[in-house]
Structure 1
Amino acid sequence: MKFLTITLYSLLTVSSVLGGYAPKGEKPENYEQIQEEYKKYQPDIVKCDEIKISYETECFPEVKTSDEACKILNNQKCKDYFENGINKHESCNKLPTVYQDNYNETKDFEHLVLKAICEKKEDGSTCPMV
């Protein structure tokens, strides 16, 4: 199952970053270039996806209460991930910035959701988002 997830993340990342709209099923003009770039970076994409999944497993589990979300925000590994993203890992740094931006935008969105869940009212109680 983990292999399938990593493969799916890889394909989604590549298709969202390099994919172009092709009307009527035609190949985009730069199709060969896209294929070559994918082949060139595919091993690093897979490694980077594995790294991202390991962070997401710990930092974005299914949260049932706001207290659980707030504990995640205080977890040192997750703090490091929120601050640095995947850029500190060698295999992720080898990828073009377009890939890195895609990974980090997803991380930033997920981080904002956790922060929103932990948001406090003026009286100190948590907002009822969960």
Structure 2
Amino acid sequence: MTGTTFNATPARVYEQLWRTILARQSWSGTLVNRTKWGGDYLAELTIAPVIDRDGDLKYFLGMHRDVTKVHELEGAVHQQKARLETGTRCRTGNHRRPAGGAARGRGAGERQQTPTWRCGHHGSGLCASAT
């Protein structure tokens, strides 16, 4: 894993998982799992009970996939969005005038618009390397 650390899955999640599958219902969720080398990763799981013809619970069938990278990317997108919303600028400092900048000649009680900086080295779009 790439430096991301996760807290252990809370016991209440496992309790709910077992209550659900023992009640012969499918369960889906995300857990912190451990690799055979001891590292943690996020696993998206679906577990379903398998019932025989007589209605007896025979075993459970489960599928999982590693969603660690998805979680990391979603976090990075959230951080970038927060940076853009707070008006931070590109590290290069190569910016043009604000798009939709502060309104001039505002009347009493009108809100000032927050400038959205456009980066010259990234073209006309918002800068993706904001700090």
Coarse TM-score class (shorter-chain normalised): under 0.3
Q: Which has the higher contact order (CA 8 A, sep 6+)?
A: 1
- TM-score normalised by structure 1 residue count: 0.28
More helix by share: 1
Which protein shows a greater Rg?
Answer: 2
More strand by share: 2
